[in-house]
């Protein structure tokens, strides 16, 4: 479940980064694919480090820890944005 959350958050993060930074925008498909890759990596790295309690916000909602979900969304979104930035920078350098 955590991986799926990270992948979706990564796709959203990649598209958000593409929208915010027009020079890195590679189109919806590439933004989404880069975001999914970055979200998977970001979520995995966050899982390896251990999910922080996020200032004590933790609850049990049917077996889902809200702190862990928020951490996966944040890690996936940031990872998606970072990978899109790398892909965009490389593609821009190759175009010159």
Instruction: Tell me the C-alpha distance between 67 and 37, whole Å.
Output: 23
State the pTM of this model.
0.75
Higher pLDDT, 2 or 73: 73
- Let me know if residue 72 belongs to a domain: yes
Q: Say if CB 2 and CB 48 are below 8 A apart.
A: no
- Let me know if residue 50 belongs to a domain: no
- Let me know if residue 53 belongs to a domain: no
Per-residue pLDDT tens digits for 56-73: 444 444 456 787 788 888
Q: What is the mean pLDDT of residues 32-53?
A: 79
User: How many domains does the structure of the chain reveal?
Assistant: 1
Instruction: Tell me the C-alpha distance between 72 and 40, whole Å.
Output: 10
Proportion of the chain above pLDDT 90, given as a percent: 12
Proportion of the chain above pLDDT 70, given as a percent: 84
DSSP β-bridge partners for residue 65? 60
Q: What are phi and psi of 2, to 5 degrees?
A: -65, -40
- Distance between first and last Cα of the chain: 41
- Let me know if residue 11 belongs to a domain: yes
| pLDDT value of residue 50 | 65
């Amino acid at each position: 479940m955590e991986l799926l959350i990270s992948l979706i958050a990564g796709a959203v993060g990649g598209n958000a980064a593409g929208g915010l930074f027009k020079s890195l925008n590679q189109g919806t498909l590439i933004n989404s694919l880069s975001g999914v890759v970055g979200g998977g990596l970001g979520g995995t790295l966050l899982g390896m480090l251990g999910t922080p309690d996020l200032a004590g916000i933790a609850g049990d909602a049917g077996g889902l820890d809200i702190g862990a979900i928020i951490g996966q969304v944040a890690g996936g979104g940031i990872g998606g944005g970072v990978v899109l930035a790398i892909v965009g920078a490389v593609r821009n350098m190759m175009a010159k």
